[in-house]
Amino acid sequence: MARIAPLPPGEWPADVVRALTAIDPTTRGRPAPEMDRRPSGRDAIASLARHPVLAKAFLPFNGYALLDTELPIREVEILVLRVAARRQSRYLWGQHVFAARAAGLTDEEIARVAYGPNAPFLEPLDAALIRAVDELIDDGVISDRTWAALGAELDERKLLDILFVTGCYETMAWMMNSLDLEPDPRIPEYLKNSGAP
């Protein structure tokens, strides 16, 4: 049971409902994700709804980190999944396995993200992204070697985005784990019906 009970949607303050537009891709002219066979992330939002001022401040940043960085969505999802794996955040992992698939990652690539930067068959940029997350979590800084590997393929803005996407989802993992949020119970069914191993 969650340490802070998620607020039922019918009780969300108007400020929280308005702030949700920040994480809605349709507000940026993008198609809405197919949600029929994807888990609900409502409990994370419903927990933030208990603190409308925080939700109003954080959700635009979360929306930027997820939808507006200059990184391709595939790279964003690699960063998010690695944070989830390192923080053992079942809730964050459960949400973003499906988002990563929608971004074009295969189940094998997702497994490599969980394995870490030394997983076999990783593309060099993928390995550098995963290593950057590990270094930020472990040391609070990206090493010169990893920075050089990233900088060989990414410009300054994308390098900055790596830092802030990682930090955003590190914060989300802290919240999800600390509040003891349970992943959507339909995830095993969704995985089984999608042909995943």
Which DSSP string do the residues of 21-86 spell out, in sequence order?
GGG-GGGGTPPPP--TTS---HHHHHHHTTSHHHHHHHHHHHHIIIIISSS-HHHHHHHHHHHHHH
The count of domains in the chain is 1
The pLDDT of residue 116: 98
CATH of the domain at 84: 1.20.1290.10
Please, what is the average pLDDT of the chain?
91
| pLDDT > 70 fraction of the chain, expressed in percent and rounded | 93
Looking at the domain assignment, is residue 11 inside a domain? no
Looking at the domain assignment, is residue 32 inside a domain? no
Q: Is the pLDDT of residue 111 over 60?
A: yes
Range of the domain at 107: 59-193
Looking at the domain assignment, is residue 162 inside a domain? yes
Span 93-103, average pLDDT: 92
pTM of the model: 0.92
Tens of pLDDT, residue by residue over 176-197, are 999 999 887 777 776 666 544 4
Span 27-50, average pLDDT: 79
Q: Is the pLDDT of residue 74 over 80?
A: yes
CA nearest to 79, candidates 178, 150, 155, 151: 150
